[in-house]
Amino acid sequence: DKARNSGAIAAIDPRNGEVLALASRPTFDPNIFSMTKKDFAKAWKVINSNKKHPLINRAVTSRFAPGSTFKPITAAAGLKRGTLHPG
């Protein structure tokens, strides 16, 4: 099954805020833009009618809850208090 969830990820350097990488899913094959008009029209129809909207770059235009950013903070607090152990 090739079905994927929609989402985005950003890798940022914590020292200076530099964006190291961005990824957005689902995606599409950008090679459709080099197809013949007939093939492009077919491919465009498929992409444009996709309910998951692969043309949206979720890494820069969508809002997602920052779930994983709080896990290290919570883990560090648990380690400091002794309620969590590294193992």
CB-count exposure of residue 19 (10 Å: 0-12, 13-18, 19+)? exposed
Any catalytic annotation for residue 68?
A: yes
Backbone angles phi, psi at 9, to 5 degrees: -140, 145
Of 6, 49, 62, 68, catalytic: 68
Contact (Cβ atoms closer than 8 angstroms) between residue 33 and residue 47 = no
Contact (Cβ atoms closer than 8 angstroms) between residue 19 and residue 11 = yes
State the Cα–Cα distance between residues 22 and 5, nearest whole angstrom: 16
Q: Which of the residues are catalytic?
A: 68
